[in-house]
């Protein structure tokens, strides 16, 4: 349970305040309602590149990081397919520095050519480090366009290809900023050793005179219902075979989302989970297996993946994974097993509330989903799920015609030791 109060500035900026005076720190979290799904198909990777540019100086403050470090603060940011989230933690005595820095970069950036040039390179190196220079690093560069044909989830946050980033121009950057970075497209959460009145004063002082910008309604193409199984097989420079099966599932605020999330927990969360037990521990069939949901706002993917042991061929491996899904569809699960994954949800929520930053991020995210108050209803939604919900949703999701299967075959090769 997270307590908070809220107000909205005339320019549309929503501000949430969560007081916790057991800490000496404050945290300022600003979520911009823009992610990779808002990019043009021929300019992908932009929301993320843009996140890097937000640290390249703003209109009145040439350097973002230094003044913050000078007051003992730290910051970072992340971009997903749905949102871009920036956060600062700092000693609460210096809270105003965070308002000064964040308001200036919401007002306008410096748009420095040098910064664009360097960050293009940095992001290209990030692309290589995470996606290209790793065995299986390109899974999501392949799986997304296999599973999504119309919706912009068909490309990864990093972008479709290096070229899109290399070709980004200053003109693109400015257009992106003025389209998406606006007080009326953002949620600010201030948490920790702060008071509501103090935050209200500071918000009025630093943010109130940033003009609202025209907000376009988001009109993303709906992903059409998948009607036939999809499949991609690659022979790659990887040491062992690997399989990924992705299924379409409900979006984040759909009532069935918690059911799908629990489905993935039943399959693979913790060492007593079903597929871990059946395929890794009880019989030597896979070296690793995993199931998880993407957690996207729009209709999601739930993924089952595994690396079979050398003596298990791929057709057999695939059958073994499907067999576990058939069991979920055909047999009503026991209450105790469901209770187990619910108990884990409950303790995980307590964990997630240990840090003020996590609390702030959660409030901001749920506010973008519709209402920060939804956060406090989350556990109850999970606890209300029944075994028949599980079976029903398993039957809806785990259908061959709803699946996209990606298989990596290890190329025969000599390994230099």
Partner 1 sequence: MLNRTVAPSRHDIQDIAFVQPDEVVFDNGLRVFIFRAPTQELIKAEFIFQNIFDGSENSLLHTCASHMLKEGTKTRTSTQIAEEIDFYGAYLMPEYSFDQTSLTLYSLNKHLSSVLPVVHDILNNATFPDAELETYIRNNKQTLQISLQKNEYLARRLFFKNLFGESRYGRIPTEDAYDRLNREDLIELYRKQVHPQNCTLILSGNITEDVLTQVRELFDIRWRNTSEASRIGSPIFPDFTPKTVVEERADALQSAIRLGMPTVNRVHPDFPAVQFVNTLFGGYFGSRLMRNIREEKGFTYSIGSAFASLQHTGFFTIATEVGVDSTGATLAEIEKEFDILRNTQATEQEIALVKNYILGSILGTIESIFSHADKFKAVYFYGLDLSYYTRYNEIIRNMTAADVQRIANTYFDYNNLLKIVVGKSSSNFF
Q: What is the largest CA-CA distance in the chain?
A: 67
Q: Which of 44, 79, 81, 89 binds partner 1 (CB under 8 A)?
A: 89
Closest CA to 247 of 22, 26, 398: 398
Sites for partner 1 among residues 302-331 (CB under 8 A)? 307, 309-310
Q: In 23-131, where do the E strands start and end?
A: 25-32, 74-79, 84-91
Q: Which of 17, 110, 238, 275 binds partner 1 (CB under 8 A)?
A: 238
Determine, following the binding rule CB under 8 A, whether residue 134 of this chain makes contact with partner 1.
yes
Q: Which of 7, 100, 111, 196 binds partner 1 (CB under 8 A)?
A: 100
Cβ distance 273 to 267 under 8 Å? yes
Structure tokens at 401: 């015609």
Cβ distance 89 to 357 under 8 Å? yes
- The least CB distance from residue 329 to partner 1, in Å, is 23
Determine, following the binding rule CB under 8 A, whether residue 350 of this chain makes contact with partner 1.
yes
CA distances from 245 to 25, 248, 306 (A): 43, 10, 9
Determine, following the binding rule CB under 8 A, whether residue 290 of this chain makes contact with partner 1.
no
Cβ distance 142 to 15 under 8 Å? no
Sites for partner 1 among residues 55-74 (CB under 8 A)? 59-61, 65-67, 69-74
Sites for partner 1 among residues 101-130 (CB under 8 A)? 103-104, 107, 117-126, 128-130
Q: What are phi and psi of 169, to 5 degrees?
A: -110, 165
Closer residue to partner 1 (CB): 42 or 197? 197
Pairing of strands 186-192, 14-19: parallel
- Piece of the chain touching partner 1 by CB under 8 A; list 39-47, 204-212, 294-302, 325-333: 204-212
Determine, following the binding rule CB under 8 A, whether residue 262 of this chain makes contact with partner 1.
no
Closer residue to partner 1 (CB): 122 or 384? 122
Q: What are phi and psi of 103, to 5 degrees?
A: -70, -35
Give me the 140-179 binding string for partner 1, x by CB under 8 A, dash otherwise: ----------------------------------------
- Piece of the chain touching partner 1 by CB under 8 A; list 54-62, 173-181, 211-219, 370-378: 54-62
Determine, following the binding rule CB under 8 A, whether residue 1 of this chain makes contact with partner 1.
no
Determine, following the binding rule CB under 8 A, whether residue 380 of this chain makes contact with partner 1.
no
Cβ distance 157 to 36 under 8 Å? yes
Closer residue to partner 1 (CB): 227 or 271? 271
- Please state, in angstroms and rounded to a whole number, the distance separating the CA atoms of residues 207 and 105: 11
Query: Angle, nearest 10°, between helix axes 387-397 and 314-330?
Result: 140
């Amino acid at each position: 349970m997270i307590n908070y109060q809220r107000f909205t500035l005339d320019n549309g900026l929503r501000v949430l305040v969560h007081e916790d005076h057991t800490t000496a720190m404050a945290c300022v979290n600003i979520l911009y309602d823009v992610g990779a799904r808002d990019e043009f198909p021929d300019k992908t990777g932009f929301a993320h590149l843009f996140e890097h540019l937000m640290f390249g100086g703003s209109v009145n403050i040439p350097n973002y990081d230094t003044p913050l470090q000078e007051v003992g603060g730290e910051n970072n940011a992340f971009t997903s397919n749905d949102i871009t989230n920036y956060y600062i933690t700092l000693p609460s005595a210096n809270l105003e520095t965070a308002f000064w820095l964040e308001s200036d970069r919401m007002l306008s950036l410096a748009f420095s050519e040098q910064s664009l040039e360097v960050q293009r390179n940095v992001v290209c190196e990030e692309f290589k480090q995470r996606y290209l220079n790793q065995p299986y690093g390109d899974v999501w560069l392949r799986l997304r366009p296999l599973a999504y044909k119309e919706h912009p989830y068909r490309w990864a946050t990093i972008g479709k290809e290096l070229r899109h980033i290399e070709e980004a121009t200053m003109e693109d950057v400015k257009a992106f900023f003025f389209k998406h970075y606006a007080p009326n497209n953002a949620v600010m959460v201030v948490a920790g050793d702060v008071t509501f009145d103090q935050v209200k004063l500071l918000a009025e002082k630093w943010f109130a005179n940033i003009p609202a910008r025209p907000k376009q309604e988001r009109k993303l193409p709906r992903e059409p219902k998948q009607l036939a199984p999809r499949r991609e097989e690659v022979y790659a420079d990887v040491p062992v075979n690997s399989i990924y099966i992705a299924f379409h599932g409900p979006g984040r605020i759909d009532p069935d989302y918690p059911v799908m999330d629990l489905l993935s927990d039943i399959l693979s969360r913790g060492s007593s989970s079903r597929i871990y037990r059946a395929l890794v521990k009880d019989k030597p069939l896979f070296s690793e297996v995993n199931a998880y949901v993407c957690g996207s706002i729009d209709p999601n993917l739930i993924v089952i993946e595994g690396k079979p042991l050398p003596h298990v061929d791929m057709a057999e491996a695939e059958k073994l994974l499907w067999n576990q899904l058939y069991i979920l569809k055909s047999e009503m699960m026991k209450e105790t097993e469901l209770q187990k994954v619910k108990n884990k949800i409950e303790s995980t929520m307590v964990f997630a509330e240990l840090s003020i930053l996590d609390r702030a991020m959660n409030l901001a995210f749920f506010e973008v989903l519709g209402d920060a108050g939804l956060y406090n209803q989350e556990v109850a939604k999970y606890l209300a799920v029944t075994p028949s919900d599980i079976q029903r949703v398993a039957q809806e999701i785990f259908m061959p015609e709803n699946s996209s299967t990606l298989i990596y075959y290890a190329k025969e090769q000599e390994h230099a030791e």
